A and B are shown apart, each in its own frame.
Chain A
Amino acid sequence: SQQGEEDPQALSIQEGENATMNCSYKTSINNLQWYRQNSGRGLVHLILIRSNEREKHSGRLRVTLDTSKKSSSLLITASRAADTASYFCATDPRGGSEKLVFGKGTKLTVNP
């Protein structure tokens, strides 16, 4: 079963606007990772945030983590048409398992 839940399920914006996607999860985690997937392709890792971190930046990406609310957000600033993809959050749950638990993803469309 999938732990994470992304919100919204779909998001359509204009080029240059910011895009915010949210992720909620259920159990304690070691870290949370965001991935991008272009249609029908493999997953590209974007950013990893550990449970003791609250915010992380990478280029146009900003990720926040609130472990008390069990939630994370991904902000993409100054979006481009090339950012069109599905975005997934994946949690690394505490408890010894090595697996990542993914949500269903947010489908982002950036219109030129």
Chain B
Amino acid sequence: DTGVSQNPRHKITKRGQNVTFRCDPISEHNRLYWYRQTLGQGPEFLTYFQNEAQLEKSRLLSDRFSAERPKGSFSTLEIQRTEQGDSAMYLCASSPRTLRRETQYFGPGTRLLVL
């Protein structure tokens, strides 16, 4: 069991640049989630996939943010025209498909710093 992996672990970019993060969920998990966490706060939900379908998006996910999960495996989160306010830890989580709500297993996160 390799757990949820995220790449890169750290990203420094200049304001206005585009960045893309990748998440590889636990292999048998069909649910995948993205969260954002700023300093001193708990994670906040961004979006959710079941297989390749993006079923839920937060109001936090502005037009500059886009997430994909082609083929229902790994997922990417892209931020276009980054702003300093986008600086945060971006966390990915996955959970298995069962009849009941189950634990979400988190990856190590990608820390983004926008200069």
User: What residues of chain A have their CB less than 8 Å away from a CB belonging to chain B?
Assistant: 2, 4, 30-31, 33, 35, 40-45, 48, 50, 88, 90, 92, 97-105
Contacts and interface: CB of A to CB of B under 8 A. Distances in A.
Given A97-B56, A99-B56, A42 B109 contact: yes
A105 B42 contact: yes
Contact of A104 (B40, B89, B107): B40
Interface of B: 4, 6, 31, 33, 35, 40-45, 48, 50, 55-56, 58, 89, 91, 93, 100-109, 111
Contacts of A100: 33, 35, 43, 45, 104
Given A2-B41, A88-B42, A99 B105 contact: no
Nearest to A102: B42
A4 B42 contact: yes
